Structure 1
Amino acid sequence: MPVGFVAFHYPRPEHFEGFVARAHKVGETFQSRAGCLSAEVWATPAGDAVVTTGRFESEAAYHAALTAVRGLGEVVAFDERELKPRNVVILLSR
């Protein structure tokens, strides 16, 4: 069963573009993994949030991709560059 996610990130304004670049690096890592169907980076028109999305062939493919992304260290770390915690929603195809 396909698995997806939508994640809302809230970078501080002075770190917005850097966060977008980090999100693209994560997306590239996801897309390099077997079973990744898509990984995209979006931004709200107001520039107050970065929204990342991903689709995977299976839950196993999603978890394997997460393991690879965790290896990116600082690229995925939550720190003072973000205003508030991320909101990640996992989705199951129905």
Structure 2
Amino acid sequence: MTVGLVGVHYPEPEYFDEFISRVHQAVETMSTTPGCLSAACWVTVDGGAIVTTGQWESEEALKASFAIAGAAGVDFAYDERERLPRDVFHLRSL
């Protein structure tokens, strides 16, 4: 069963460009990890949120991707750079 992840991030305006860089680094790193089928980032039309998406072969592959990316220095921290808590949806295929 494949699994997915959708994250909706709400960066403060002054950190928007930095956040885009962080998200691109995560996508570039995670998309090369074993079991990652896709990883992408999007911005809402109004520019108020950044949306990250990913799909993996298994829950184990998803967890391994995050571990590899974290070890590579990808910044996943939630802090004052975001104006609202993230919305994160863990998905499984039907």
Match of residue 22 from structure 2:
22
In structure 1, stretches of 5+ residues that fail to align are: none
1:58 & 1:16 partners in 2: Cα distance? Answer: 31
Match of residue 66 from structure 2:
66
Higher strand proportion: 1
1:73 & 1:86 partners in 2: Cα distance? Answer: 20
Q: Per-residue deviation at 1:72?
A: 4.8
Match of residue 50 from structure 1:
50
Per the alignment, in what secondary structure is the counterpart of residue 84 of structure 1? coil
User: Match of 1:77, as an amino acid?
Assistant: A
**Any conservation in 2 of the 1:69–1:76 contact (CA below 8 Å)?**
no
User: Match of 2:34, as an amino acid?
Assistant: A
Q: Structure 1 runs of 4+ off > 4 angstroms?
A: none
- TM-score w.r.t. length of structure 1: 0.92
1:71 & 1:52 partners in 2: Cα distance? Answer: 20
In structure 2, stretches of 5+ residues that fail to align are: none
- Give the alignment of 1:5-44 within 5 angstroms: 5-44=5-44
- TM-score w.r.t. length of structure 2: 0.92
